[in-house]
Homo-oligomer: A and B are copies of this chain.
């Protein structure tokens, strides 16, 4: 019998015992220490390290309640999904996710690679740091994890079992509400529009019937298209980064949905980084360096994704009809269309909805923030309404540049 045969919420001392008893990770003579490093409102996150060898591990335990629900089943299932997905992603895109050493269903916790020497990418971008390898890393991650879990590559019966296994109703509902619905009609009264932009938002979003109609079409795509096992929350806050390495974390929203949901989120969050740099870097030369790198990264993310997607396809396609000449490019064009649509949705909801991004809210100068938001919202509308026309990185970037030129700096 072990104290860990039944779930309880661990304190740092328990975590040390747990690491000694349950993990095959530290040397026998390890001198372990532990501290809690997370903010603990959904999961409790601990770092355990050995003073002798310097080895370290992160242990993440699900709390008994979740922020979004009192239902414990939700919590534990989220953690199972997260561990399983990270293990699968490591197989498909090695080196681009934290390693999982163990998942413990009873204790509802997992032991994973310690990424303490990485930083959250959104934070780094707000400090205007650049990551020249990021486009290469994220496109390898996306092309592999996304395409390899589709019917293009997988046996269709096994893929259907995966669809069942990763059905994620509660977390999908959050996305359905916050990304696809509320930004366009504020039907729950939870939107949080920057007051100086309120009239502009009423005129250009809430009273924009043709925009709402396109949002409805995109919502049904999200509700019904079991295309690929997507990450489901792939923004720059879900990425740990350092110059030579990128690690994608937190796949708790994963489910079978449209590929464009992941690729579109990356594009949109790069645009937020660009808008922050454009609005807050006073020195024109410094601004040109950071914003120029972001622009190049937007172009590379789209173009390298397209190129790798076709290469992964070529190397792994099993579905006989997917080998028909021209089908790969048609399929990819639909992914780019969805990418533009979702990038537009993300730009809307993170600017005027319940969940803001700090890239925008941290812009202290009021006139600069008004302008940054209007650029993002205008790009968003164009992406959504003309999503069928976006194929290359230049297509995506040109719209940003066009609206940046249209709203003059004050």
Please tell me if the beta carbons of B320 and A213 are within 8 angstroms of each other in the complex: no
Please tell me if the beta carbons of A321 and B181 are within 8 angstroms of each other in the complex: yes
Chain A interface, number of residues (Cβ within 8 angstroms): 42
Number of copies: 2
Please tell me if the beta carbons of A324 and B169 are within 8 angstroms of each other in the complex: no
Picked from B181, B213, B223, the residue with its CB within 8 Å of the CB of A326 is B213
Given that A225-B225, A226-B226, A321-B216 are known contacts, is A172 also in contact with B185, CB under 8 Å in the complex?
A: no
Please tell me if the beta carbons of B216 and A322 are within 8 angstroms of each other in the complex: yes
CB under 8 Å from chain B, chain A span 178-226: 180-181, 184-185, 187, 209, 212-213, 215-217, 219-220, 223-226
A216 proximity list for chain B (CB < 8 A):
321-322, 324, 327
Q: How far is the CB of A174 from the nearest CB of chain B, in Å?
A: 11
Please tell me if the beta carbons of A156 and B185 are within 8 angstroms of each other in the complex: no
Please tell me if the beta carbons of A167 and B173 are within 8 angstroms of each other in the complex: no
The CA of A41 and the CA of B157, in the complex, are separated in Å by 24
Q: A151 interface residue, CB < 8 Å from B?
A: yes
A213 proximity list for chain B (CB < 8 A):
324-327, 330
Choose, from A5-13, A82-90, A158-166, the stretch at the interface: A158-166
A-B contact pairs, 28 of them (CB 8 A): A151-B224, A156-B169, A156-B173, A156-B176, A157-B169, A157-B170, A157-B173, A159-B223, A160-B172, A161-B167, A163-B163, A163-B167, A180-B321, A184-B321, A185-B320, A185-B321, A187-B320, A209-B325, A212-B321, A212-B324, A213-B324, A213-B325, A213-B327, A213-B330, A216-B322, A220-B322, A220-B331, A224-B226
